[in-house]
Amino acid sequence: MPTTPLPHRIQSFQEYREVYARSVADPEGFWAEQARTFRWHTGWGRVLDWNFEEPRVRWFEGATLNITENCLDRHLDERGDQTAILFEPNEPDDPVVKLTYRELHAEVGRVGNALRELGVGKGDRVCFYMPMVVELAVSVLACARIGAIHSVVFAGFSAQALADRVNDADCSLIICSDYNRRGSKNIPVKAVVDDALALGCPSVRNVLVHRNTGEEIAWNKGTDVWYHERVEGQSSSCAAEVMGAEDVLFILYTSGSTGKPKGVVHTCGGYMVYTAFSFLNVFQYQPGDVYWCTADIGWITGHSYILYGPLLCGATTVMFEGVPTYPDAGRFWQVCAKHHVNQFYTAPTAIRALMARGHKFVEGHDLSDLKVLGSVGEPINEEAWEWYHDYVGQGRVPIVDTWWQTETGGMMISGLGGLSPQKATFAGYPLPGIQMALVDKESGQELTGNPESGLLCVKFPWPSILRTTWCDHERCRTTYFTTVPGMYFTGDGARRDAEGMYRIVGRVDDVINVSGHRMGTAEVENAINEHGQVVESAVVGYPHAIKGQGIYAYVIVADGVPADDRLREEIVAMVRQEIGPIAKPDKIQFVAELPKTRSGKIMRRILRKVASGETEQLGDTSTLLNPEAVEQVIAGVV
Ligand code: WTA
């Protein structure tokens, strides 16, 4: 039986050094070699065409492919009967669903045909608003099969946030479920879609509804169609749309420091090559391993490392419907033991939440199959790292702390499981092909020595770098390519130690990271300001023991309005309505004034320090328009 070719898997740290050096000396040769292991319809002309001024990045241009043929069809001979997706339901005693590569291929075909029948074609945008169910994975792949562009919206966002995203991308179809099972509760999903449509989504022709819990839902005759009715009876064979390497694969909305979330655009060819290469190397995935990433497919981690990366490599990927604490705080470890998980990938916020419940929940579960533990989404503090290492990894399992972003498509800085030196709180070394730089904030010059600290940038394109932001290329340019001319700026600050290992310090812009979720402070402020009795607000992050960062809101209310708990509740409700529960402020402080510069800009630096309890070192306040505001803010801290 022919073995499916895969990108190169590095097998020692020494080899990593050699491969890295080669990837920098000859990026085109290096990535072409990885790319050749995939199935393409036609080959590329130039491997890479780029400049970071426009910016313009094109990998493998001229080549054609379909990513799902690489995720599915090409595995059928060798591993058609191997489990591709292993679904672990919310209720521990409900049946596990295992879809083999052959079954997944057939199911994707059926849904692809159903979507085509609904009039969805190449380049059309399809929005997903679904819980973590198999049908989500299948239909996302079905979109890719027929060349439609998927835009998955995390099912915790509000109707308003959903409507904004649907409208920005002019989606013609929304795929949703009736309800979402989360722990002991079922949460309405379809009702949120109805609310979004009521806000006005003129591009939406249909809503395809997956029956999940079977509970009652409202039905709109003109638009709503049942998933099962459309999919049943379809042929499982669905011709893959032939896509250009630089055709859009998906849009994923993410928060930045200004304005509304932007649609990060990834394309087919480069994203495929990079997610597969990075998955294989970071997790040191070997055929037959069971891999589990606990993220939601609504975020980039789920796209790249539940779906595409693992399936491209012929892995068995676990998809978990539930939450880490249901029925108790041992659920992750129970599932790891039950399915003999070999690689486990989660976020520091989950580790901290479980750590707080005590290690007794880890004990008693057989975790001897674990080979690599991963962390993603936010800096992992030393205490959480040690706990993960000592209790989950039993002191034996290597940890990979993977730094990357929605915009990077794949992991950028990380150890390679078991091969690289590891150091708590350090993400480690850049992956092959990733040319990182630290840049001095004041001078804009690259800092080449070690140790150093500065703005974290990337000097050279890698295959899965974002290509644009949907319908707004200028925003892409100004957000990422103007802070440091000639480089991609990440928004993060970092340190490099004497050995060249990177430690991510955190965002240096007005983005906060709450439980591993990115929030723009401006977005939260805009939501708060929607409240009729709010005059102005300023939102900052502060250290939070479980969430990493909490949301702290300073709010000025209109004259004569009582600044009380009832108003606090209304403000929280407003944020839930505008964005969703993940953005609700943890603390609200009512203030009479906000400290401002003479040019009228809010001094966030000071507000951040006050919210963090660092009132001793406020720095220079002499340039303030209203220095007395600082005293008031300190006096009223909550
Ligand atoms: C942060 C998530 C420290 C960082 C994949 C980045 C991290 C933002 C790490 C991107 C890590 C992600 N260590 N910080 N290992 N991973 N971050 O787009 O601030 O949701 O800029 O992508 O999360 O968040 P995003």
Atom of ligand 1 lying closest to residue 380 CA: 13
Q: How far apart are CA 165 and CA 171, in angstroms?
A: 9
CA distances from 436 to 459, 474, 488, 489 (A): 6, 24, 9, 10
Atom of ligand 1 lying closest to residue 414 CA: 15
For residue 257, pLDDT beyond 90: no
Q: If you measure from the C-alpha of residue 516 to the centroid of ligand 1, how many angstroms do you get, rounded to a whole number? A: 7
The secondary structure of 448-494, three-state, reads: CCCCEEEEEEECCCCCCCCCEECCCHHHHHHHHCCCCCCCEEEEEEE
Record the tokens describing residue 102, joined without a space: 């052959």
Atom of ligand 1 lying closest to residue 401 CA: 15
pLDDT of residue 1: 59
Tens of pLDDT along 424-433?
A: 999 999 999 9
Atom of ligand 1 lying closest to residue 407 CA: 18
CA distances from 137 to 73, 116, 130, 308, 541 (A): 16, 17, 10, 10, 33
Task: Provide CB contacts within 8 A for 103, sequence distance 6+.
Answer: 84
Atom of ligand 1 lying closest to residue 490 CA: 21
Question: Which residue has a Cα nearest atom 25 of ligand 1?
Answer: 405
Q: If you measure from the C-alpha of residue 519 to the centroid of ligand 1, how many angstroms do you get, rounded to a whole number? A: 12
Tens of pLDDT along 321-332?
A: 999 999 999 999
Tens of pLDDT along 218-230?
A: 999 999 999 999 9
Q: If you measure from the C-alpha of residue 449 to the centroid of ligand 1, how many angstroms do you get, rounded to a whole number? A: 24
Q: If you measure from the C-alpha of residue 403 to the centroid of ligand 1, how many angstroms do you get, rounded to a whole number? A: 6
Q: If you measure from the C-alpha of residue 385 to the centroid of ligand 1, how many angstroms do you get, rounded to a whole number? A: 16
Backbone angles phi, psi at 360, to 5 degrees: -60, -25
**Ligand 1 pocket, mutate which of 385, 414, 504 (most atoms under 8 A from CB):** 504
Q: If you measure from the C-alpha of residue 347 to the centroid of ligand 1, how many angstroms do you get, rounded to a whole number? A: 10
Tracing tokens 């003129």 back to the chain, one arrives at: 202
Average pLDDT, whole number, for the chain? Answer: 97
Q: How far apart are CA 523 and CA 529, in angstroms?
A: 10
pLDDT of residue 621: 82
Which is it for strands 64-65 and 290-293: parallel, antiparallel or unpaired? unpaired
Q: What is the CA radius of gyration of the chain?
A: 24
Tens of pLDDT along 555-588?
A: 999 999 999 999 999 999 999 999 999 999 999 9
pLDDT of residue 616: 86
Record the tokens describing residue 459, joined without a space: 């000097």
For residue 61, pLDDT beyond 70: yes
Tens of pLDDT along 478-494?
A: 999 999 999 999 999 99
pLDDT of residue 310: 98
Edge-to-edge strand list for the sheet holding 468-469: 224-226, 206-210, 173-177, 125-129, 149-152, 248-254, 262-267, 468-469
Q: If you measure from the C-alpha of residue 468 to the centroid of ligand 1, how many angstroms do you get, rounded to a whole number? A: 19
DSSP-assigned letters across all residues of 339-386 = TT-SEEEE-HHHHHHHHHH-GGGTTTS--TT--EEEEESSPPPHHHHH
Q: If you measure from the C-alpha of residue 492 to the centroid of ligand 1, how many angstroms do you get, rounded to a whole number? A: 9
Question: Which residue has a Cα nearest atom 15 of ligand 1?
Answer: 403
Q: How far apart are the first and last CA of the chain?
A: 66
Q: If you measure from the C-alpha of residue 350 to the centroid of ligand 1, how many angstroms do you get, rounded to a whole number? A: 15
**Ligand 1 pocket, mutate which of 378, 429, 515 (most atoms under 8 A from CB):** 378
Backbone angles phi, psi at 256, to 5 degrees: -125, -170
Task: Provide CB contacts within 8 A for 379, sequence distance 6+.
Answer: 348, 425, 503, 504, 505, 506, 548
Question: Which residue has a Cα nearest atom 5 of ligand 1?
Answer: 405
**Ligand 1 pocket, mutate which of 434, 513, 517 (most atoms under 8 A from CB):** 513
Please report, for the chain, how many H helices and E strands are present, in that order.
20, 31
At 58, which amino acid appears? R
Tens of pLDDT along 541-561?
A: 999 999 999 999 999 999 999
Tens of pLDDT along 357-373?
A: 999 999 999 999 999 99
Q: If you measure from the C-alpha of residue 27 to the centroid of ligand 1, how many angstroms do you get, rounded to a whole number? A: 25
Ligand 1, CB cutoff 6 Å, lining residues? 254, 299-301, 375-379, 401-406, 427, 490-492, 504, 506-507, 513, 518
Tens of pLDDT along 507-524?
A: 999 999 999 999 999 999
For residue 159, pLDDT beyond 90: yes
Longest alpha-carbon distance in the chain: 79
At 570, which amino acid appears? E
- Each residue of 93-110: b (16+ CB within 10 Å) or e? eeeebbbbbbbbbbbbbb
Backbone angles phi, psi at 566, to 5 degrees: -65, -40
Whether 131 and 175 have beta carbons less than 8 Å apart is answered as no
Tens of pLDDT along 86-141?
A: 999 999 999 999 999 999 999 999 999 999 999 999 999 999 999 999 999 999 99
Record the tokens describing residue 548, joined without a space: 């990493």
pLDDT of residue 2: 64
pLDDT of residue 426: 98
For residue 340, pLDDT beyond 70: yes
DSSP-assigned letters across all residues of 253-296 = EE--SSSS-EEEEEEHHHHHHHHHHHHHHHTT--TT-EEEE-S-
Question: Which residue has a Cα nearest atom 10 of ligand 1?
Answer: 405
Residue 411 pLDDT grade (very low, low, confident, very high; cuts 50, 70, 90): very high
